[in-house]
Copies of this chain bind each other. A is one copy, B any other.
Amino acid sequence: MRPQKITISEVGPRDGLQIERRLLPAEQKIALIDRLSATGLTRIEVSAFVHPKVVPQMADAEAVFAGIMRRPGVRYAGLVMNARGAERAVAASVDDIKTGIAVSDSFNELNVRMTTEQGMRALGEIAAVAKGTRSRIVGGIATAFGCPYEGPVPIEQVHRLFAQLAGFGAPVIYLADTTGMANPASITRTIESLRARWPNQPIGLHLHNTRGLGLANALAGLELGVVDFESSIGGLGGCPFAPRAVGNICTEDFVHMAHEMGIGTGVDLDALLRVAAFTQEAVGRPLPGMVMKAGKANERHDKAAPRMKVD
């Protein structure tokens, strides 16, 4: 079932930067996105069309979309939470309108000030705005593997949201492990449950590495033939509950894992590692990406070079 090729959607410029302390100017975001698209990545989440007072980091969404180079074959996405956001996204000619909803009321209310029911109505309004435009809807289900307030989530609730997103003809629906609560067993269980009912709906994984399980969870997905994954350059971003914890899985570490396993990504890993270094410089803090610290597994070391003892 392990796929031969996967598609990685880079979410660092949105999901990552949204939680970084340092606000980057639009020009620097544009430079980052253009460098990312030059590595062979074909899906990039550029920004979010949300209220600038609520998420000031994304207030320049239009400017960033206007400034980036639109590389052929690359789909540029914007996150949208309501009809107003969808109008802005369509006006900015985004390729993919990323939208979704959290499984739990508690999370939704704190995150977007809507209950899950209100969020589902908002999804309908977003889909109506997008209809007939060049922008397509790509779905996401947040806290799909657990809610930090409510704990385990009922699988029936995941099914309900999935049904609605599938109804919009979403080319892929990402299950998001928003705060890093998934484990390989719950990844397998959830995907198998959804596939039993929607055998033809592509399912993607949006994973966080909050408790070190990110790449193990990705492996569980790969073993089930999942080919769509979201990740963040350098492991940009963080965890809203724990200042020292990390956020999304790291794009270059995941590409490195895939290539080591013989799974193609279409991405130039060396170029990606240079973008990770650029990103680290831009945000001004050490990022959690590990391959940029240790080097690739296929790099040879010089026997004459200094080293420490090891057994």
Once bound together, how far apart are the Cα atoms of A211 and B254, in whole Å?
Answer: 10
Once bound together, how far apart are the Cα atoms of A218 and B220, in whole Å?
Answer: 12
Which chain B residues border A300 with CB–CB below 8 Å? 148-151
Binds B, one of A64-72, A120-128, A163-171, A178-186: A178-186
Per assembly, the copies of the chain total 2
> How far does the Cβ of A309 sit from chain B's closest Cβ, in whole Å?
6
Residue of B nearest to A249 (CB): B212
In the complex, per-residue mask of A246-290: 1 if CB is within 8 Å of any chain B CB, else 0: 100010010011001110000000000000000000000010011
Q: Is there a chain B Cβ closer than 8 Å to A118's Cβ?
A: no
Q: Do A241 and B180 touch (CB < 8 A)?
A: no
Q: Is there a chain B Cβ closer than 8 Å to A134's Cβ?
A: no
In the complex, per-residue mask of A41-56: 1 if CB is within 8 Å of any chain B CB, else 0: 0000000100000110
Q: Is there a chain B Cβ closer than 8 Å to A295's Cβ?
A: yes
Q: Is there a chain B Cβ closer than 8 Å to A173's Cβ?
A: no
Which chain B residues border A262 with CB–CB below 8 Å? 185
Q: Is there a chain B Cβ closer than 8 Å to A114's Cβ?
A: no
Q: Do B211 and A290 touch (CB < 8 A)?
A: yes
Contact of A290 among B19, B151, B179, B245 (CB under 8 A): B245
Which chain B residues border A216 with CB–CB below 8 Å? 215-216, 218-219, 257
Residue of B nearest to A261 (CB): B185
Residue of B nearest to A294 (CB): B245
Residue of B nearest to A296 (CB): B211
Q: Do A241 and B295 touch (CB < 8 A)?
A: yes
In the complex, per-residue mask of A1-27: 1 if CB is within 8 Å of any chain B CB, else 0: 000000000000001001100000000
Q: Is there a chain B Cβ closer than 8 Å to A137's Cβ?
A: no
Residue of B nearest to A109 (CB): B303
Which chain B residues border A310 with CB–CB below 8 Å? 18-19, 111, 178-179, 240
Q: Do B290 and A246 touch (CB < 8 A)?
A: yes
Once bound together, how far apart are the Cα atoms of A151 and B260, in whole Å?
Answer: 13
A303-B110 contact given A210-B294, A212-B250, A311-B15, CB 8 Å threshold: yes
Which chain B residues border A303 with CB–CB below 8 Å? 106, 110, 149
Q: Do A244 and B293 touch (CB < 8 A)?
A: yes
Once bound together, how far apart are the Cα atoms of A309 and B81, in whole Å?
Answer: 14
Which chain B residues border A261 with CB–CB below 8 Å? 183-185
Once bound together, how far apart are the Cα atoms of A239 and B297, in whole Å?
Answer: 13
CB within 8 Å of B: which A140-196 residues: 142, 146, 148-151, 178-186
A180-B245 contact given A215-B216, A250-B212, A261-B185, CB 8 Å threshold: no
Which chain B residues border A250 with CB–CB below 8 Å? 212
Q: Is there a chain B Cβ closer than 8 Å to A209's Cβ?
A: yes
Q: Do A298 and B111 touch (CB < 8 A)?
A: no
Q: Do A294 and B211 touch (CB < 8 A)?
A: yes
Among A150, A210, A309: residue with most chain B CB under 10 A: A309
> How far does the Cβ of A179 sit from chain B's closest Cβ, in whole Å?
7
Q: Do A55 and B242 touch (CB < 8 A)?
A: no
Once bound together, how far apart are the Cα atoms of A180 and B297, in whole Å?
Answer: 7
